[in-house]
């Protein structure tokens, strides 16, 4: 911790192995944030009472006669019927999966509040992950390039030829003019 880089060390001519340490730090930080997020998301409190189990299952199902309301929240006859049916099925020993499967067999996949993890529904689940990773990649690449540009020493006249190698589409006159301009400025 004592030899953490300061702003001075980031200036041109600073030690060259430092960026790897800071890169590793950033990667570790991102990994930690994403890991904690995923872990938090995966943690579902295990319902202890039968009423809580019923509630948890009903909250995944649509109230059939409502707009965007779960069978756990709604106070309609249809939602009450679903809650009563879930409670009966739990008492008879059916699993959450079986009960949700039963509801789907009656109402279709429409009854599920979350989009299904297949077909078009899969895209809904994957799109945010893909866009987030893509955005992180854009930021990382832009950051890396900015750092590289910041660290790179100013081009010397002797390097001008090397610099121009990539610009072969420029006319010879343009290349000569650029070399001369750069010579004049240094």
Partner 1 sequence: MSTAAAPTIARRRLRHPVRRLTIVLGLVVAGGLAVMLPRLGQNPSTQVAADSPLLGKPAPPFSLREANGGATVSSATLRGHYSVVYFFATWCPVCVAEVPNLVSFYWHWHTRGVELVGIGYEDPGAAEAQFARQAGISWPLLVDPDEQVALRYGIFGIPETFVIGPSGTVLAKLVGAVGTGQLGAVVQRVMQGSTNVSVRSGAVVPTSPGKRAGGG
Residues within the interface to partner 1 (CB under 8 A): 62-69, 73-82, 84-85, 104-108, 110-111, 120, 123-124, 127, 130-131, 134-135, 137-138, 141-142, 145, 167, 169-171, 174
Task: Give me the least distance between CB of 30 and partner 1, in Å please.
Answer: 17
Task: Give me the least distance between CB of 80 and partner 1, in Å please.
Answer: 7
Task: Give me the least distance between CB of 185 and partner 1, in Å please.
Answer: 17
Nearer to partner 1 (CB atom), residue 73 or residue 186: 73
The string of DSSP codes covering the chain is: -TT---TGGGSTTS-TTHHHHHHHHHHHHHHHHHHHHHHHHH--PPP-SHHHHHHHHHTTBB-TTSSS-BTTT--SHHHHHHHHHHHHHHHTT--HHHHHHHHHHHH-GGGBSSPPSSTHHHHHHHHHHHHHHHHHHHHHHHHHHHHHHHHSPPPPGGGHHHHHGGGTTS-HHHHHHHHHHHHHH-
Task: Give me the least distance between CB of 13 and partner 1, in Å please.
Answer: 27
Nearer to partner 1 (CB atom), residue 145 or residue 183: 145
Nearer to partner 1 (CB atom), residue 5 or residue 101: 101
């Amino acid at each position: 911790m004592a030899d953490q880089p300061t702003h001075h060390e980031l200036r041109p001519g600073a030690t060259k192995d430092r960026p790897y340490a800071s890169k590793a730090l950033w990667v570790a930080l991102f990994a930690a944030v994403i890991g904690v997020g995923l872990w938090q998301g995966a943690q579902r409190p295990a319902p202890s009472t039968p009423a809580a189990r019923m509630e948890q299952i009903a909250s995944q199902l649509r109230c059939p006669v409502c707009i965007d309301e779960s069978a756990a929240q709604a106070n309609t006859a249809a939602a009450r019927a679903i809650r009563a049916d879930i409670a009966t099925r739990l008492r008879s020993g059916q699993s959450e999966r079986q009960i949700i499967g039963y509801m789907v067999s009656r109402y279709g996949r429409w009854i599920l509040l979350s989009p299904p993890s297949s077909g078009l529904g899969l895209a809904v689940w994957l799109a945010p992950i893909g866009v987030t990773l893509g955005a992180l990649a854009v930021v990382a690449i832009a950051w890396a390039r900015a750092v590289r540009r910041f660290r790179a020493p100013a081009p010397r006249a002797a390097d001008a030829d090397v610099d121009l190698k990539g610009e072969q589409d420029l006319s010879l006159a343009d290349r000569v003019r650029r070399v001369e301009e750069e010579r004049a400025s240094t």
